Amino acid sequence: MRQLRTKTIIQSQFIRQQAQYSSMASTETKAIGFIGLGQMGFHMAKHLRAKSKEPFIVFDMNKDVALKFKSENSNVSIATSPADLASQASVIVTALPESTHVKQAYLGEDGVIKGISKGVLCIDSSTIDNSVSIDVSKQIIAAGGRAVDAPISGGIMGAQAATLTFMVGSQNTTDFERAKVHLAKMGKNVVHCGELGAGQAAKICNNLLLAISMIGVAEAMNLGIRLGLDPTVLASIVNTSSGRCWSSDTANPVPNVIATAPSSKDYDGGFKSRLMLKDLGLVSNAAKQSKTPLLLGALSENIYRMISNDSAMAEKDFSVVYKWIANSQTK
């Protein structure tokens, strides 16, 4: 009798395991979905598609961009909505500008959770409000999916070269490891920062420093030029000295110092100033919630607010702060 009961238990466990394996295999054979083919997302999706064997499905509010992506990449289909995409995918990556776009994509009338299946992994690479990120992730999980926040650093140049850094927050290491497989195809560094929302926290701290350093490089370069220094010579000194940083050696804000920098392309093709202002707003919100003083951060936010009040400069790369400073005349 005892042997029969033991045999029954073993058989039940085997059946459950087989069902789990069958469900996992069914999920993993579905497509990879990508929502948000903007300046960053287009390049990210291109690398992910090229390095993945699964069918690829995309969605963007701009239908022309989605059609362009399909025409340039094989084995790609276009979803009619985020919900439609979710019904066909085992993994979904989103790269969207702001919190409202993320909430709409996931929780809207035709949002992802309306079409999501059990176990589908949602990777949000948008930079949004930490509390919104956590809330959206929890609603995805409540709907049967899995979720990680994975904001990115490296800019458009990093997206083009697949050298991005992903800062990941997850509920467990299993979700992180599963996401890492796909993130590694779009970047070179994938870092587990902690619980849900930790990726967003790391990202806004990085962008706070990025804004401050860009303003500092712009101000120093402007001073040197006004003192008669050749900007290329000054930049070479900074980049072999203690002032060196990404804002000086990769994205130098002075035109023609670095040929590949947005500043040498009329400040086009980079991280828009209005988006930097948006991120500094996220920094300000987080600082208030955590009762953290912001000195240079508050000043940086004010500077990018003034820059963004100029409709033309607002759409330019945030290194345009050099042009804004250079045009300022001290009495």
Residues 127-144: pLDDT tens digits? 999 999 999 999 999 999
Residue 15: its pLDDT value, please?
42
Please, what is the average pLDDT of the chain? 92
143-174: per-residue pLDDT in tens?
A: 999 999 999 998 888 999 999 999 999 999 99
| Residues 165-206 pLDDT 10s | 999 999 999 999 999 999 999 999 999 999 999 999 999 999
> Any idea which residue has 């195809």 for tokens?
185
Please report the pLDDT score of residue 157 as a whole number.
86
- pLDDT, average across residues 286-312: 97
pLDDT of residue 119: 96
pLDDT above 80 (res 231):
yes
DSSP 252: -
Q: Which residues of 302-328 are buried (b: 16+ CB within 10 A; e: fewer)?
A: ebbeebbeeeebbebbbbbbbbbbbee
Q: Are 163 and 137 in contact (CB under 8 A)?
A: no
Q: Which of 214, 205, 212 is nearest to 283 (CA)?
A: 205
Per-residue confidence band for 30, with pLDDT thresholds at 50, 70 and 90: confident
- The confidence score (pLDDT) of residue 13 equals 46
| Residue 129 φ/ψ, nearest 5 degrees | -60, 135
With pLDDT > 90 as the criterion, what percentage of the chain qualifies?
88
Mean pLDDT, to the nearest integer, of 11-16?
46
Q: Which residues are catalytic?
A: 203
Across 266-288, average pLDDT: 95
- Residue 26 is predicted with a pLDDT of 44
No. of helices (H) and no. of strands (E), the chain: 15, 9
pTM for the complete prediction?
0.84
Does residue 57 contact residue 68 with C-beta atoms inside 8 Å?
no
Contact 35, 60 (CB under 8 A): yes
Per-residue pLDDT of 46-97, as tens digits, reads 999 999 999 999 999 999 999 999 999 999 999 999 999 999 999 999 999 9
Is there a contact between 32 and 48 (Cβ–Cβ < 8 Å)? Answer: yes
19-28, 219-228, 318-327: least confidently modelled range: 19-28
If you search the block for the tokens 């035109």, which residue do you land on?
255
Burial 180-201 (b: 16+ CB within 10 A, else e): bebbebbbeebbbbeebbbbbb
The per-residue pLDDT for 24 is 42
Rg, C-alpha atoms of the chain: 23
pLDDT at 232 over 70: yes
Q: Please say if the pLDDT value at position 22 is more than 70.
A: no
pLDDT band at 20 (very low <50, low <70, confident <90, very high): very low
Q: What was the pLDDT predicted at 218?
A: 98
pLDDT score of 226: 97
Enumerate residues 6+ apart whose C-beta is below 8 A from 149. 124, 133, 134, 137, 168, 169, 170, 196, 197, 198, 199, 200
Among the residue ranges 50-59, 152-161, 233-242, 244-253, the one predicted with the least confidence is: 152-161
Average pLDDT estimate for 215-225: 98
Per-residue pLDDT at 25 exceeds 60 = no
